[in-house]
């Protein structure tokens, strides 16, 4: 699995904006546009901008359904690296929930400010590339 350091934050800050960065890469939108979209959704849902329930609501509004956490045959969880190597498809993007973090895999490549390949995959969304 390839990892590419990615920070869409316009001031290149490392802050609690992983949801915004993941959306930016997944949807091919600017950090500012994603933040604005999430904030506007917050005004409707009354969840915090960074609340995962706000993300779920926002992506559902865009037509994306959350997928359940994938499990191996032995019921163990996949790591981000195993997910990228074994389950991800070249023409798809995945917004992935992990413990206290949100990341993105696009075309089987992990994009984030840090290499979280060893973390376990939680629920996720599939974004078809070119269909955003």
pLDDT band for 128, please (50, 70, 90 cuts). confident
How confident is the model over 13-23, as pLDDT tens digits? Answer: 989 999 999 99
| pLDDT, mean of residues 12-35 | 96
How confident is the model over 55-67, as pLDDT tens digits? Answer: 999 999 999 999 9
* Strand, helix or coil for residue 32: helix
* Strand, helix or coil for residue 27: helix
pLDDT band for 53, please (50, 70, 90 cuts). very high
| pLDDT, mean of residues 34-49 | 96
**Alpha-carbon distance 59 to 101, whole Å?**
17
How confident is the model over 80-91, as pLDDT tens digits? Answer: 999 999 999 999
Q: What is the pTM of this model?
A: 0.93
pLDDT band for 98, please (50, 70, 90 cuts). very high
Which residue's entry shows tokens 């917004």?
95
Tell whether the model's pLDDT for residue 127 goes beyond 90. yes
Query: Please, what is the Cα angle at 15 between 9 and 112, to 5 degrees?
Result: 60
Q: How far is CA 28 from the centre of its chain?
A: 12
CB atoms within 10 A of CB 115: 15
């Amino acid at each position: 699995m390839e990892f590419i350091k990615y920070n869409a934050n316009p001031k290149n800050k490392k802050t609690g904006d992983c949801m915004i960065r993941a959306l930016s890469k997944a949807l091919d939108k600017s950090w500012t546009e994603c933040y604005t979209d999430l904030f506007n959704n917050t005004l409707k849902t009354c969840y915090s901008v960074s609340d995962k329930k706000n993300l779920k609501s926002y992506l559902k509004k865009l037509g994306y359904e959350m997928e359940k956490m994938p499990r191996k045959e032995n019921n163990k969880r996949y790591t981000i690296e195993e997910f990228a190597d074994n389950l991800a498809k070249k023409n798809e993007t995945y917004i992935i929930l992990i413990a206290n973090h949100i990341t993105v895999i696009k075309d089987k490549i992990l994009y984030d400010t840090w290499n979280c390949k060893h973390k376990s995959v939680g629920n996720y969304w599939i974004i078809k590339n070119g269909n955003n």
